[in-house]
Structure 1
Amino acid sequence: MNKKIKSTIIKSFLFIACLLFAFQPLLRAQGFLKAKGKDIVNEKGQNVLLRGIGLGGWMLQEGYMLGITAEGQQQHKIRQRIDSLIGPEATQEFYDTWLANHTTRGDIDSLRSWGFNSVRLPMHYNLFTLPVEKEPVAGQNTWLTRGFEMVDSLLAWCAANKIYLILDLHAAPGGQGNDLNISDRDPSLPSLWESEANRNKTIALWKKLAERYAGKQWIGAYDILNEPNYGFTDTADRNGLKETRNEPLKKLLVDITKAIREVDHNHIIVIEGNGWGNNYNGMLPPWDDNMVLSFHKYWNKNDKASIQKIVDTREQYNVPVWLGETGENSNVWYAQAVQLLEENNIGWAWWPLKKLGVNNPLQIRSNLNYQDVLNYWNGKGEKPRESNAYSGLLELATYTRVGTNRVHRDVIDALMRQPHINKTVPFAKNNIQNGTVLKAVNYDLGKNGYAYWDSDTADYRVSGIKGVGNRGRTYRNDGVDIVMDSAHYETYYVNHIEAGEWLQYTIDVKQKGIYNIGLSVASEITGGAVSITINNKIAGNKQMVPLTGAKKWTTLWFKNVNLAAGRQLLRIYAGKGGFDFSSISFDRKK
């Protein structure tokens, strides 16, 4: 080929490639989310039901997420505690490690694989700008790169997974409420509402964010102020639950909206009422034509009455509503809530993705040295050695990374599958042959009444109904009570069994035949009774659970049970409660 022609072809190819690269965002464009009447819609005008998760604990720590029960759970107090144990340099190392590991591309990839389509990012302002008290020139704003770079990375991961990112200002300059932990507020300094400088910085921060992300179509919305909770006219109403006008809150939100619209007309603006997001008195009608109202929902019943007020508000003002934060309960509550919300075309963002504890999709693993730190902070132990505290804290920060988190498939199942179907699925591969032993805690995944039956399933305390769900708060997040055997690492068993409760196991029998089925039980009282069924048919006479003493296990055998090959449903019934249950053994008779 002629060199000149060849050169021309290569140049033409490179030119076209450059054009394709330049217009790549346009070619991949998904369109901005918009508020249209009572719906959130995509570029095609199709209703979008947001199913999201909040990245709580990453940019902003709250003490309870770290197991701290003592007073002073704001992030700056936590940092002071760490500093006093390991010094300022090691404390900075801890926070650098925490921020680098807590949320990564792997977390967002996981969310996509589980079916989520959005994430809500709770932002701490101090990653983006200095506090007003530390500004070199009063009234000016020093911009920090770290927060913006973290958002940039997160947005890239979200875009790659076609997940919408909702920016949420969780900790505003000065702090937006009297619930101090939420916004890392220091009550010795002027709050957001007591300082014009703090309000101006908040407005400037949102304008800066909007300038940076105005053209980014995978930014789903700007949630401009999380959970205001402040009594403006009545100091006794500390959290603003009874405010009738909310004038300072509305003015600030209007001012932020104006600043955003100077540079960005594309993105939804989400507002939240006073009283942790739910008190909209005096704040409506909406002042922008691309606005969504957020509300938050915790620990109340999952009936129409629990959301009626926000649904009525949606109808009155013809504006979309979104449940921006909810969670911190049992799987029973989760499935009920999602079903209620989606039947009413309300999207949601669960709280949070990960922390210490089992009622979230991912659990951060603790360690013995960190437990000593916690015991000291919570007034239950001596001050640990500096080297041990350093080891425990840095290990904790490292183990925030998704690859080391414990995945709670039961929580994911309760959010994504159980609201839409009653069918149960196996928790584990229960392949049955001679000598098989199943863990009692590996009962099926599914709703209460289908995969198991437990009488205490969720916390509805806001509605006046006591309950805790899993009393042991470990391994799983259903109503079933599970504890860890302190004598055996990573060994769990079911306890606090009450009369009428049952557990179901989907088993796959590989060797058909006559089996003896043994239940490993222990009891500190007399009177417990247990029976079993196979495919809803009684498979043996009821047996009484003997008095054995705590954790002194004995086996109750149900003899000569005929098991056909293939999938069967095994249920364990407690005719009378009061005993513990650890495993099921299968002994095939020759």
Structure 2
Amino acid sequence: MKKLLFFLFLIFSLFGNAQEIPSEFLHTSGQKILDRNGENVLLRGIGLGGHMLQEGYMLKVPFSGQQYVIKEHISELIGKERTEEFYEAWLQNHTRKIDIDSLKSWGFNSVRLPMHFNLYTLSVEEEPVKGENTWLEKGFQMTDSLLSWAEANEMYLILDMHAAPGGQGHDVNISDRDPSKPSLWESEANQQKLVALWKKLAERYKDEPWIGAYDIINEPNWTYEEGKHKHGIEDSQNAPLKKLMVEITRSIREVDNNHIVIIEGNGWGNNYNGILPPWDDNMVISFHKYWNYNDTASIQQFLDFREKYDAPIWLGETGENSNVWFTDAIRLMEENNIGWCWWPLKKLGFNNPLEVPVNPGYQKMLEYWRGEGEKPSEEEAYQAVMQLAENTKLENNYFHKGVVDAMIRQPHSKEAIPFTKIIVNDSATIKAANYDMGPLGTAYHDSISANYYISTGGERQSWNSGRTYRNDGVDIFPSEPRAAYADVYVGEMEAGEWLQYTFQASEKGDFELSFTMAADAEGEAAIEINGKRHPVFAVPASKDWIEITVKNIPLQKGENQLRFLVITGDYKLKEIKINRQN
């Protein structure tokens, strides 16, 4: 007995209490998430949206965006066998080791995998024996590979049940839900399949320390109370949701006591009425945040939950906005010791780190689906979708370095840095869209810089009206429809807006600056060089591109900063030429 008491005394002397005993797994301690060394972990992550589960907006389709609907439309053009070939190529190409290696090099330390249940098990309707579960190796093997890539980079992999059996909400795109079949909440069989799937996942990964957590149901959005908003944002009890999450947690804990369990409220993750307090001592409260202000008030509810229940909180999904919004949101999170996970890594769109290019054949398919073009032949459509799958590879993506800079560097620095390296010897040409990277008011100024429609109650705002090339408030357009990123210009430049360019001059001297511009009406502009304002110059009206030259501009040897300012008017600016004066 004395030996036992001495042993217990030694344990408590070393570790203080049982919760602080070191664990090789990511785990909670009070309001913090700790690593194997007992150090606070601030998760900086990216969600792999579109990988296992496509959503219609990510592919720009004009019809209902569930993956099974997209699949049906493709199958109508190329047949079932070739459609399966496309989806196999998509799964192979979309996320590979090079993607995870890149995330690590950019500064991220975690990745969230949005899982589709149908890669791991048959649907309830497909099961040959009612009530049993047929396990599919495809999903588990894909997860194994992703885990190995994460482990090689010492990054945490968070498993997220994005498409639960039957679908977990009325927002059908999120979970690939077929409304003609019973939902997760209308089918006990679907619920039991979800419980069994989580137990199977926990059995497989219970000893894997680079599995960061289990995010057990993504964005449930379903009312359980008569007369309430159908997406569950007004429910006061959420009893079925809590019951199912408790049952999932219990099934996980039967085989795995190592990993964090992440819970999400109703109403796309944020309605926790009736759900809290947490029922497990290794649990994180997640919330999602889109299109609202980035102030303390916007997260106060969750700060209060953290304090009241002494449990960590995590911003499990956010994004789909401008660089300004990204920087402000991340700064807000990190100032409050809240980890975050952005959405998504890549899609057919400009406001994420990687953009999948739209090939001409797929563009033709989109036009046909919109009723704006002829039906492509089977061979044309087949080649188009296979090229689209090839374009999902990272080496074929457009890398939006400004997005990554806004997420990793700018929350901690207000400095502007060059978008591209520019050296002026006797001459140089600067693409107008290659203004500096940095915060609003430092690298550029634009009147609309983000979308806050949830907070304002107004319409969605487009910060970059051209929706191409970069993700700041600056409006950038292709010179020709479907033009490559090499041929773009800045448009809709209004009074008070400006752009800054940082470059190097090999020698000091006087130079002339020529601006390739167009304007619907005459106006005035000005330039600043290294903080000194030069005289205002006139911009004549011209629908065609013209050059306006300003002479006798002194540059210093080394770094220079040029600002182009709109005084009056509405301009297009394509490029700036710098030439030494004789």
TM-score by length of 2: 0.94
C-alpha deviation, 1:434, in angstroms: 2.4
Q: Which residue is equivalent to 1:418? A: 410
CA distance in 1, matches of 2:160, 2:219: 10
Q: Which one of 48, 54, 64 corresponds to residue 47 of structure 2?
A: 54
Report the alpha carbon displacement of residue 30 of structure 1 after superposing the two structures with TM.
8.3
Alignment partner of 2:514: what SS?
A: strand
Whether contact under 8 Å (1:496, 1:577) holds in the other structure is no
Amino acid paired to 2:506? K
Q: Which residue of 1 aligns with 2:16?
A: none
Match of 1:515 among 511, 514, 517: 511
Deviates more, 1:560-569 or 1:234-243: 234-243
Give, in whole Å, the separation in 2 of the partners of 1:80 and 1:236.
33
Matched, 1:436 2:436: no
* SS of 2:414 mapped into structure 1: coil
Whether the 8 Å contact between 1:541 and 1:558 is mirrored in structure 2 is no
Q: Which residue of 1 aligns with 2:192?
A: 200
Judged with a 3 Å threshold, the aligned counterparts in structure 2 of structure 1 residues 391 and 30 are, in CA distance, closer, same or farther, namely farther
- Cα offset for 1:435? 3.2
Name stretches of at least 5 consecutive residues in structure 2 with no aligned partner.
1-21
Distance in 2 (CA, whole Å) between partners of 1:511 and 1:68 is 52
TM-score by length of 1: 0.93
**Aligned: 1:553 with 2:545:** yes
Q: Is the 8 A contact 2:166 2:184 kept in 1?
A: yes
Give 3-state SS (helix, strand or coil) of 2:366's partner: helix
Cα distance, 1:257 vs structure 2:
0.3
Aligned partner of 1:468 in structure 2 is: 462
Q: What are the residue-to-residue correspondences of 1:564-579 with 2, within 5 Å?
A: 564-579=556-571
Output aligned runs, 1:297-336, within 5 Å. 297-336=289-328
Work out whether residues 169 and 220 of structure 2, in 8 Å CA contact, stay in contact via their aligned partners in 1: yes
Q: Distance in 2 between matches of 1:336 and 1:383?
A: 45
Aligned partner (choices 118, 121, 127) of residue 119 of structure 2: 127
The answer to whether residue 448 in structure 2 is matched with residue 452 in structure 1 is no
**1:131-180 superposed Cα distances (whole Å, 9 cap, x missing partner):** 00000000000000000000000000000000000000000000000000
Q: Give distance in 2, aligned partners of 1:529 and 1:579.
A: 10
Contact persistence 2:222–2:231 (CA under 8 A): yes
Q: Measure how far apart 1:509 and its partner are.
A: 0.6
Residues 1:477 and 2:471 aligned together: yes
For residue 357 of structure 1, what is the amino acid of its counterpart? Answer: G
Deviations 1:440-460 (A, max 9, x none): 000000000000011100000
2:491 aligned residue (484, 487, 495): 495
Question: What does residue range 347-358 of structure 1 map to in structure 2 within 5 Å?
Answer: 347-358=339-350
Corresponding residue of 1:65: 58
The 5 Å alignment of 1:75-224 reads 75-224=67-216
For residue 504 of structure 2, what is the amino acid of its counterpart? D
CA–CA distance in structure 2, aligned partners of residues 259 and 380 of structure 1: 51
1:240 & 1:287 partners in 2: Cα distance? 22
Q: Aligned equivalents of 1:97 and 1:133: distance in 2?
A: 26
- Quote the residue 1:247 is aligned against: 239
Q: Aligned partner of 1:37: which letter?
A: G
SS of equivalent to 1:553: strand
Check 1:379–1:451 CA distance in 2 against 1; reply closer, same or farther (3 A cut).
same
Aligned to 2:538: 544
- The answer (yes or no) to whether the contact 1:424–1:446 under 8 Å persists in 2 is yes
| Partner residue, 1:13 | none
- Inter-partner Cα distance in structure 2 for 1:149 and 1:282: 37
Deviations 1:366-397 (CA, angstroms, capped at 9, x unpaired): 11110011112233322212111111111001
Measure the CA separation in 1 of the matches of 2:565 and 2:352. 28
SS of the aligned residue for 2:263 comes to strand
Per-residue Cα deviation, 1:190-244 (whole angstroms, up to 9, x for no partner) = 0000000000000000000000000000000000000000011125511000000
Letter in 1 for 2:476: I
1:255 alignment partner AA: E
**2:228/2:235 contact within 8 Å kept:** no
Alignment of 1:400-419 (within 5 A): 400-419=392-411
Whether contact under 8 Å (2:347, 2:355) holds in the other structure is yes
Greater Cα shift, 362-371 or 430-439 = 430-439
Q: Identity rate of aligned residues, in percent?
A: 56
Equivalence for 2:11:
none
Match of 1:59, as an amino acid?
Answer: M
2:257 counterpart (259, 265, 269): 265
Separation of aligned partners in 2, 1:567 and 1:521: 25
What's the CA shift string for 1:292-317, capped at 9, x where partnerless? 00000000000000000111111111
Show CA shifts across 1:479-535 (max 9, x none): 000001117643000001110111000010124321111111101222x21111111
Contact 1:358 1:408 in 2 (8 A): yes
Residue of structure 2 in register with 1:535 after alignment: 530
Between Structure 1 and Structure 2, how many residues are aligned?
A: 557
- Consecutive unaligned residues of structure 1, counting only runs of 5 or more, are 1-28
Query: Which one of 501, 505, 511 corresponds to residue 505 of structure 1?
Result: 501
Shift of 1:123: 0.1
Cα distance in 2 between the residues matched to 1:303 and 1:130: 44
Q: Is the 8 A contact 1:273 1:295 kept in 2?
A: yes
Q: 1:570-589, aligned counterparts within 5 Å?
A: 570-589=562-581
> Aligned partners of 1:233 and 1:514: how far apart in 2?
73
Does the CA-based 8 Å contact 1:241-1:279 persist in structure 2?
Answer: yes
Match of 2:9 in 1: none
